[in-house]
Amino acid sequence: MEIKSNLVKDLRERTGAGMMDCKKALEESAGDIEKAIEFLRIRGLSKAAKKAGRETSEGLVVSYIHPGNRIGVLLEVNCETDFVARTDDFQNLVKNLAMHIAAAAPLGVTRDDISGDLIAKEKEVFKAQALEEGKPAAVVDKIVTGRMDKFFAESALMDQIYVKDNDKKVADLVNEAIAKLGENIKVARFARFQLGQ
């Protein structure tokens, strides 16, 4: 099947992937643009997984003050080289992550960064709620696990739904940038300040 250049251009504009990657994705998906997008996402995730062990000693520290001057974020995102850190794509990623943090108020970068005391307290509350609702003791642990997954999805930055695109998580956004820029990228740390808190 011959893939028309306007289809490749459209896919490239929608995904930011390279021209040859877009052409291959369209060939693999018989010209179906939605399937091609999924193909590129899967391929991007596998590329990101291969790069995960590589050292990230460069990057950026950015500050973001939300309009109204009531919320501010200081964020460090690392990559492998200074060259990538200076690209518009990387800088836009970092800026978008800072805005997301301001809006979504995560408690840590990953689940591991959330206080063990807070996790234990949440588990106790969820267990007490399940028992109060009259759930059988045999299923209480499964209920607690499900509610903890929801808690992490709301509290851990990498598990959160990205505020600018509800179809992807923040981890997906970072993995797409890894695939596009060809380097390992890690959100190192952040601090979020809110007036009066």
How many residues does the structure list for the chain?
Answer: 197
Based on the fold, state whether residues 30 and 103 are members of the same structural domain: no
Q: What's the mean pLDDT when you consider all of the chain? A: 86
**16 falls in which pLDDT band (50, 70, 90)?**
low
> What pLDDT was estimated at residue 1?
61
Degrees (nearest 5) of the Cα angle 162, 187, 191? Answer: 85
Beta strands in the chain (DSSP E): 58-65, 71-79, 186-194
Domain shared by 22 and 47, yes or no? yes
State whether 85 and 161 are in the same domain.
yes
Sign of CA dihedral 110, 14, 163, 74: positive
Same domain, residue pair 149 and 161? no
In this prediction, residue 51 has a pLDDT band, given cuts at 50, 70 and 90, of: low
Residue 170: both structure tokens together = 């923040």
Same domain for 147 and 75:
no
34 alpha-carbon distance from chain centroid: 21
Contact 192, 101 (CB under 8 A): yes
Q: Are residues 29 and 123 in the same domain?
A: no
* pLDDT tens digit sequence for 92-141: 999 999 999 999 999 999 999 999 999 999 999 998 888 888 888 888 88
- Per the structure, the count of domains in the chain is 3
CB of 76 closer than 8 Å to CB of 189: yes
Which alpha helices (DSSP H) does 29-79 contain, by range? 33-51
Any idea which of 3-17, 40-54, 112-126, 136-150 has the lowest mean pLDDT?
Answer: 40-54
**Residues 62 and 144 occupy one common structural domain:** no
Mean pLDDT, residues 153-167 taken together: 93
Chain-centroid distance, C-alpha 151: 16
Average pLDDT over residues 2-10: 77
Residue type, 50: K
Predicted confidence (pLDDT) per residue in 163-189, tens digit:
999 888 999 899 888 888 888 899 999
CATH number of the domain that residue 32 is part of: 1.10.8.10
What's the domain range around 10?
A: 5-51
